[in-house]
Amino acid sequence: MSKLWQKTTNVNQLVETFTVGRDRELDREMAAFDVLGSLAHTTMLETIGLMGADDLAQVQKELKAIYADIQAGNFTIEDGVEDVHSQVEMLLTQRIGDAGKKIHSGRSRNDQVLVDLKLFFRHKIQEVVEEVEKLFRQLIKLSEEHKDVLLPGYTHLQVAMPSSFGLWFGAYAESLADDLELVLAAWKITNKNPLGSAAGYGSSFPLNRTLTTQLLGFESLNHNVVYAQMGRGKTERIIAQALSSVAATLAKMAMDQCLYLSQNFAFVSYPESLTTGSSIMPHKKNPDVWEIMRGKCNRLQALPNDVAMMTTNLPSGYHRELQLLKELLFPAFADLLDCLHMATFMLQNISVNKNILNDPKYAYLFSVEEVNKAVLNGTPFRDAYKQIGLDIEQDNFNPEKTVNHTHEGSIGNLQNQQITEGLEKVLGSFGFTKVEEAITNLLK
């Protein structure tokens, strides 16, 4: 296919290869969403007189057939076709003739890309939320099951105070609940319709942007057409922040798992089939899943900076490097979803050591408990602290290895129900049902 910038065949091939990059490969992931955008857009075109009822019927019937092919895995972007938008339009024109050529009326490639991305991101955010919820519920389940099993708590990686598996699992559950607040913010920014902004300056056609907003299940629209274009890059940056927050929680949990699985800790264990061995050391059970997860999630925490560096100091309007954001975000979603899924799977098979604190090296964990006990019996805190310190120095420290923590969020009062209620409140704010109903109606 001839390109506007073509000079000689060799230069054209070099320029095309360089500028297209991975775009055609990544565009396949947006194919279904491109069709959805066209279904809404053509419905709107008919209402403003830019497409006849017969043409609309033909176009919509064939668009739904293309959508079915995409869902069945029977869609490709052919050699020589620049992107997914061109492929869909070409298929329509081949199958139904001139009616297929009308779908681009009142629409620029820019806002077509924008709406496809918004729909794609919206779908992927929902998948992330669903996987986060699964992991959250597994963590809460483990927290409740093992709430009475104590383990050491550390500060500066030094043995500090008693903790529990209930606290440990529950802490990561609550962290995920907070992460979803950021994911919700990303959802709200994403769930606005840019369609109708054209090349970023609107259209002389009397487009009904409110209608396409409703048809696609968006919560609202990007009102200002210039801002709709400026939103590309900004949307990705906010999504990147949300994904990196979830990744940070997973990376910290993966690090804990690697420590706790080692022989020097031996706090948790997994079936041999979920760990790997050594080629020369037969005793090894390596936490490869958690190590790979830690690496991937550490890399994901760089995502906001990668997006920022790609978009910093760009003036308003469209710029070609925005295309490269897909190379950052699309794999990021895939990696995070894989990590969330694997974390849930691994935790479904975890075993905890119920006798950790029988080891005498953990006796000092209870020093604060002994100080507090003396204070409750009337000894001033500073005197109690000094006496317990002397007992430790003189090797006379013989604590009772029990804890009596009852305040909110402590070993004896995990607040898992309140944490779960907080998560469910956030989940209810996404409005996935509204989106699903709109897409179902669009495909009828």
Domain ranges of the chain: 9-104, 109-145+164-357+424-442
Give CA–CA dist 61/327, Å, rounded.
32
Report, as an integer, the average pLDDT of 174-190: 98
Using alpha carbons, list the distances in angstroms from residue 119 to 25, 74, 213: 18, 21, 11
Superfamily of domain covering 9-104: Fumarase/aspartase (N-terminal domain) (1.10.275.10)
The secondary structure element, H or E, covering residue 260 is helix 225-261
Reduced to 3 states (helix: H, G, I; strand: E, B; else coil), residue 268 is strand
**What is the per-residue pLDDT for 267?**
96
pTM of the model: 0.91
> Is residue 8 over pLDDT 70?
no
Do 46 and 52 meet the contact criterion of CB atoms below 8 Å apart? yes
The secondary structure element, H or E, covering residue 155 is strand 150-155
* Confidence band, pLDDT 50/70/90 cuts, at residue 2: very low
Which CATH topology does 109-145+164-357+424-442 take?
A: Fumarase C; Chain A, domain 2 (1.20.200)
- Mind listing the pLDDT tens digit for each residue in 69-82? 999 999 998 887 88
Q: Which two tokens stand for residue 249?
A: 């929680």
Q: What does the DSSP 8-state code read for residue 413?
A: B
Q: How many residues does the chain have?
A: 444
Least trusted range by pLDDT, from 2-16, 211-225, 409-423: 2-16
* Fold agreement (9-104, 109-145+164-357+424-442): no
Q: Which two tokens stand for residue 370?
A: 């002994």
* Confidence band, pLDDT 50/70/90 cuts, at residue 4: very low
Give the mean pLDDT of the chain.
91
Report, as an integer, the average pLDDT of 144-153: 96
Do 23 and 29 meet the contact criterion of CB atoms below 8 Å apart? no
